[in-house]
Amino acid sequence: MLICGTAPDLIIMIFNYLKIVLLLNAACILSISCQKKSITKQLNTQTTIKLMTDYKEQFRPQFHFSPQEKWMNDPNGLVYYKGVYHLFYQYYPEDIVWGPMHWGHAVSKDLISWEHKPIALFPDELGHIFSGSAVVDIHNTSGLGTKENPPLVAIFTYHLMEGEKAGRTDFQTQGIAYSLDNGDTWTKYQGNPVIGNDDIKDFRDPKVFWHDETNRWIMALVAGDYAMFYSSSDLKEWVYLSDFGQDKGAHGGVWECPDLFKLKVGETDEEKWVLLISINPGAPNGGSGTQYFIGDFDGTTFTAEHTDEKWIDYGADNYAGVTFNNTPNDERILIGWMSNWYYAQNTPTENWRSAMTLPRELSLIKENDNYFLRNTIIEAFENYKTIIEQNDRISLDKKFVLSDYDFSQSEIKFQVNLTRDLKITLKNDKEALFFEMNPSEKEMTLDRHQSGLVDFEPRFAEAVHSMPYDAVEKEVDIQILMDKSSIEIFIDRGRYVMTEQIFPTKNYTELQISSKSEGVSIKNMKVSKIKAIW
């Protein structure tokens, strides 16, 4: 983890930084073909690279994962092994815009505080390393490790840029790599690619998991705007099983980053299969979003039971979310990329771009014979909070105002006896973010057009974003998390969620809660400061 506070630390930091620069210069002079790729590799082997930022830049999230520097998109290879959660991610180590993809790597014991690791996977002659998953091959089915030391196996998409540029349609294939040292170093499999391409232009993002019922590996991946399933006994030979979705769900863009898993319905013994599909563009509020299907997977075919579109998050900035394999108690924990391809490469940060959502535990609920996903922040997050303001009961007959606070790294939580409208405003002296709930209109809205810097890309704030709201409970839980440049709103314990980026030029210092209706009151209000993880 990066700690960079005291004077001696600072001197060491400067010294180490100069050391890297000198080393790189020397390397460049010695080698005429000083390719960017090889610089990346050298940087990567310098452990001192960890000290290249103090994580205090304007807009830098304090309790969400973000790369130390440069470009990041999708979470990849989410897996738990031997007490450690691994987060790999789409990474371009040479610029703050998308480029030749690598897998960056970080580890955590509690999913909130992260430690950066060297880059795990580099592009090679088969292509750039696009999104994918990782499994613990506990029985060494692949033969890439031993029974005593089973391998971690990463399954990813190779994207061959030359093929794409030449106008071919077979430039995405699937490859694997393995690690025998708990994810620290990775070796690409000699027999790559393990799945070739028969002319499918967008053929990517394999999510692999062990399917107990049929005793084999299952892979979900996407092909254009539908999903495909494959099976394997050894992670190397794959057999096509079936397709899903040509006539189901939203199709406003390409399907990406699938995930397939089983969940219990509430506290009952009923079980359902859930298929997550990210889509870009085509999300309800424009650009990138994640839809899901609920149904059954019989080991070969996935069938959805509903015709309505379901979205995991109605905010504009939760994309490519997938869940961890091999979690200790079978929890389903999702991490998403907190951005949107509409403007991801234009956001006003300088030496890094984008962050991940907080990890969220997924559960299934049944409402009027329809099933929905709930996502709630994992429990470990509780350890990072310190309550700074409490109020048992507040009537909203008059507007409630909390001013002179710093909300830039905070949680606001309360319950409301919501029968009518509610408006929450977070502001500084010139910028404001508005969230409104309107049960009679069956809608909630988030309006960021005055929230701070917005004009770096026209689509960032051109519309007020809305979420359908079918209020079933009278008393509703509201939880709002703000972390410098993001806001995550969870209504009714994660039944309704909106995640968005914001770029206030000054911290928000005022909270207002109001209702146009009479008799609305809020209970158990708690405002907490959240500890920084860096």
Please give the residue ranges that form the binding site for ligand FRU (CB under 6 A). 73-74, 90, 101, 130-131, 157, 204-205, 256-257, 320
Which residue in this structure is represented by tokens 């146009």?
A: 516
When the beta carbons of 22 and 161 are compared against ligand FRU, the nearer one is 161
The answer to whether 241 and 225 are in contact (CB under 8 A) is no
**Token pair belonging to 414:** 């309360």
DSSP 265: B
Q: By three-state DSSP, how is residue 19 classified?
A: helix
At its nearest, how many Å lie between ligand FRU and the CB of residue 481? Answer: 23
Which residue in this structure is represented by tokens 């909630």?
A: 444
Give the N- to C-terminal CA distance of the chain in Å, as an integer.
7
Which residues are known catalytic residues? Answer: 74
The answer to whether 73 and 90 are in contact (CB under 8 A) is yes
Question: Cβ atoms within 10 A of the Cβ of 263, count?
Answer: 18
The answer to whether 190 and 141 are in contact (CB under 8 A) is no
Write down the H helix ranges in 106-225: 161-165
The residues, any chain, with a CB within 8 Å of residue 255's CB and separated by 6 or more, are 202, 222, 223, 224, 225, 226, 227, 245, 277, 278, 279
Helices 36-45 and 7-30: crossing angle in degrees, nearest 10, is: 140
Determine the number of helices (DSSP H) and then strands (DSSP E) in the chain: 3, 33
At its nearest, how many Å lie between ligand FRU and the CB of residue 172? Answer: 8
At its nearest, how many Å lie between ligand FRU and the CB of residue 337? Answer: 7
For residues 209 and 220, give the distance between their C-alpha atoms in angstroms, rounded to a whole number: 9
For residues 507 and 503, give the distance between their C-alpha atoms in angstroms, rounded to a whole number: 9
What length is written for the chain? Answer: 534
Residue of 471, 414, 477, 463 whose CA lies nearest to 438: 471
**Token pair belonging to 311:** 């979205």
For residues 145 and 148, give the distance between their C-alpha atoms in angstroms, rounded to a whole number: 8
When the beta carbons of 74 and 500 are compared against ligand FRU, the nearer one is 74
At its nearest, how many Å lie between ligand FRU and the CB of residue 116? Answer: 19
- Name the strand (E) or helix (H) holding 28: helix 7-30
At its nearest, how many Å lie between ligand FRU and the CB of residue 114? Answer: 20
**Token pair belonging to 56:** 């205090």
At its nearest, how many Å lie between ligand FRU and the CB of residue 184? Answer: 23
Q: By three-state DSSP, how is residue 262 classified?
A: strand
When the beta carbons of 61 and 123 are compared against ligand FRU, the nearer one is 123
DSSP 311: B
Decide the pairing of beta strands 352-353 and 70-81.
parallel
At its nearest, how many Å lie between ligand FRU and the CB of residue 333? Answer: 19
Phi, psi of 486 (to 5 degrees): -150, 155
At its nearest, how many Å lie between ligand FRU and the CB of residue 205? Answer: 5
At its nearest, how many Å lie between ligand FRU and the CB of residue 101? Answer: 5
